[in-house]
């Protein structure tokens, strides 16, 4: 049995705008994502067999489904289908990324499984072919195959890498609150009755500044933007408090990630980020130290 181990890093959104409501039901988005050195460990083993069988064991989260509802299992299934192969696939997951928090945990797990299987099968699929499988599975999964810093458009699956090298640290904080992605989009739809581009204009200016600063390996703190903050934060007292505390404790910027409810603060040094991380834990938040990578 051959085995490959992959890291499934979480991501944060440095910029997230919703530009349109599409006829296929998805929203058209424009987002800049950055991966962080904090995530799940995925170990994948394969063995040829007459019929395909996929098993998943999860350590660290006993509520996560381990059947076909789990994106990691769906990724393995689709990979085998597209490859025209049958195999026994065993996936072992050490789950650290908080679930449904706006950190793309599920997408990152699925991407890690695709990377692992493609290695195990001797790079059977080209980048383009693997991207197509990823896009079919979910909007963020193409980005998660590569991580680092990228602009993602369309429903998130059209990715352009941004070459930057930031020396920055994030503290990611979550209160005991839940926001499902569909509920966040509904809240956004109610706040902005139609997306004709006028809402986006506020973001666009920030996007240009953010992009230019990234090209200089810097992060212009005032240019971070997330359109969901206006729709989601008013209903999330804990996330609002965490965001305020991060700024009070010296973060150069603080912002909600994805559609929430996690928020992150940016720090220049690991020492400061660690200090604030422990402080927020003491105040009852789940808080994670994460270097941008
Ligand atoms: P995004 O930032 O891409 O919107 P998220 O971080 O908000 O994603 P996830 O943690 O990916 O959300 O979980 C969203 C849903 O997906 C949950 O309801 C969860 O049950 C389901 N799910 C399926 N597979 C996984 C997985 N491997 N890890 C986490 N959630 C998973």
Give the distance (Å) from ligand 1 centre to CA of residue 284: 23
Give the distance (Å) from ligand 1 centre to CA of residue 100: 5
DSSP three-state, residue 244: helix
Closest residue to atom 28 of ligand 1, CA basis: 106
User: Model confidence at 199, in pLDDT bands (50, 70, 90)?
Assistant: low
pLDDT attached to residue 219: 95
The ranges assigned to domains in the chain are: 2-161, 169-291
| Residues forming the active site | 11, 140
Kindly state if the Cβ of 253 falls inside 6 Å of ligand 1: no
Give the distance (Å) from ligand 1 centre to CA of residue 271: 30
Count CB-CB contacts under 10 A for residue 293. Answer: 16
Give mean pLDDT, residues 157-167.
96
Query: Does the pLDDT value for residue 76 go beyond 90?
Result: yes
Least confident interval from 66-75, 126-135, 174-183, 280-289: 174-183
Query: Does the pLDDT value for residue 1 go beyond 70?
Result: yes
Closest residue to atom 11 of ligand 1, CA basis: 106
For the domain 169-291, what is the CATH code?
3.30.70.890
- The closest-lying atom of ligand 1 relative to the alpha carbon of residue 70 is 24
**Percent of the chain topping pLDDT 70:** 97
Kindly state if the Cβ of 66 falls inside 6 Å of ligand 1: no
Give mean pLDDT, residues 261-283.
98
User: Model confidence at 167, in pLDDT bands (50, 70, 90)?
Assistant: very high
Q: Token digits for 244?
A: 């305020």
Give the distance (Å) from ligand 1 centre to CA of residue 98: 9
For 21-57, how does the pLDDT look when each residue is reduced to its tens digit (9 = 90+)?
A: 788 878 889 999 999 999 999 999 999 999 999 999 9
- Which residue is associated with the tokens 């986006």? 200
Give the distance (Å) from ligand 1 centre to CA of residue 262: 13
* Residues whose CB falls within 8 Å of the CB of residue 108, separated by 6 or more in sequence, listed in order: 8, 9, 10, 11, 39, 40, 97, 144, 147
Q: Token digits for 184?
A: 């966040």
User: Model confidence at 194, in pLDDT bands (50, 70, 90)?
Assistant: low
Closest residue to atom 18 of ligand 1, CA basis: 100
Q: Selecting from 3.30.2130.10, 3.10.580.10, 3.40.50.150, 3.30.230.10, what CATH number does the domain 2-161 have?
A: 3.30.230.10
Kindly state if the Cβ of 71 falls inside 6 Å of ligand 1: yes
Query: Does the pLDDT value for residue 124 go beyond 90?
Result: yes
Kindly state if the Cβ of 203 falls inside 6 Å of ligand 1: no
DSSP three-state, residue 6: strand
User: pTM value?
Assistant: 0.95
């Amino acid at each position: 049995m051959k085995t490959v181990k992959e890291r499934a890093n979480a991501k944060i959104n440095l910029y997230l705008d919703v530009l349109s409501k599409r006829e296929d039901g998805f929203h058209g988005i424009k987002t800049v994502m950055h991966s962080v050195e904090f995530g799940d460990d995925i170990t994948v083993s394969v063995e040829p067999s007459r019929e395909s069988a996929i098993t998943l064991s999860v350590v660290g989260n006993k509520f996560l489904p381990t059947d076909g509802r789990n994106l990691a299992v769906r990724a393995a299934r689709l990979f085998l289908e597209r490859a025209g192969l049958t195999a026994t696939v065993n996936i072992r997951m050490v789950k650290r990324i908080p679930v449904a928090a706006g950190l793309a945990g599920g997408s990152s797990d699925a991407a890690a499984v695709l990377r692992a299987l493609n290695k195990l099968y001797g790079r059977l699929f080209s980048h383009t072919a693997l991207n197509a499988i990823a896009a079919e599975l979910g909007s963020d999964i193409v980005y998660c195959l590569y991580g680092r810093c990228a602009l993602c458009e369309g429903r998130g699956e059209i990715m352009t890498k941004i070459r930057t090298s930031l020396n920055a640290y994030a503290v990611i904080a979550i209160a005991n609150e839940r926001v499902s992605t569909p509920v966040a989009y509904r809240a956004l739809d109610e706040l902005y009755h139609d997306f004709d581009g006028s809402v986006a204009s506020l973001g666009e200016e920030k996007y240009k500044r953010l992009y230019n600063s990234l090209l200089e390996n810097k992060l212009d703190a005032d240019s971070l933007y997330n359109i969901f903050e206006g729709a989601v934060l008013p209903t999330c007292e804990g996330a609002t408090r965490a965001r305020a505390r991060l700024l009070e404790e010296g973060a150069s910027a603080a912002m909600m990630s994805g559609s929430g409810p996690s928020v992150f603060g940016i720090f220049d040094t690991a020492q400061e980020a660690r200090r604030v991380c422990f402080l927020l834990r003491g105040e009852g938040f789940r808080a994670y130290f994460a270097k941008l990578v």
